[in-house]
């Protein structure tokens, strides 16, 4: 996984946690989805990067100890 990996995010607030239904924004009911690069999400600093990972990616990172470059 690289920082140019695409992440599914809410098109209103640009947060994956909103699109995943964890912490929904005020416009979530009418929101759609877009794909954003991890590089851009890191620059925005709207949420912790762990929200951008699939369950499988997160498990691999826990096993290998590998973390996302910031």
Domain boundaries, the chain: 6-64
pLDDT at 59: 67
Q: What pTM, to 2 d.p., does this model score?
A: 0.73
Q: pLDDT tens across 11-48, in order?
A: 999 999 998 899 999 999 999 999 999 899 999 999 99
Structure tokens at 21: 């239904």
Q: pLDDT tens across 49-66, in order?
A: 888 876 677 666 677 766
pLDDT at 36: 93
Count of alpha carbons within 13 angstroms of residue 35, beta-carbon side: 3
Q: Is the pLDDT of residue 70 over 50?
A: no
Alpha-carbon gap, residue 3 to 66, rounded angstroms = 13
């Amino acid at each position: 996984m690289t920082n140019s990996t695409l992440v599914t995010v809410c098109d209103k607030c640009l947060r994956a946690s909103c699109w995943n239904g964890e912490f929904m924004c005020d416009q979530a009911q009418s929101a759609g989805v877009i794909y954003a690069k991890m590089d851009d999400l890191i620059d925005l600093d709207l949420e912790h990067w762990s929200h951008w990972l699939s369950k499988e990616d997160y498990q691999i990172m826990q096993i290998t100890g590998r973390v996302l470059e910031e």
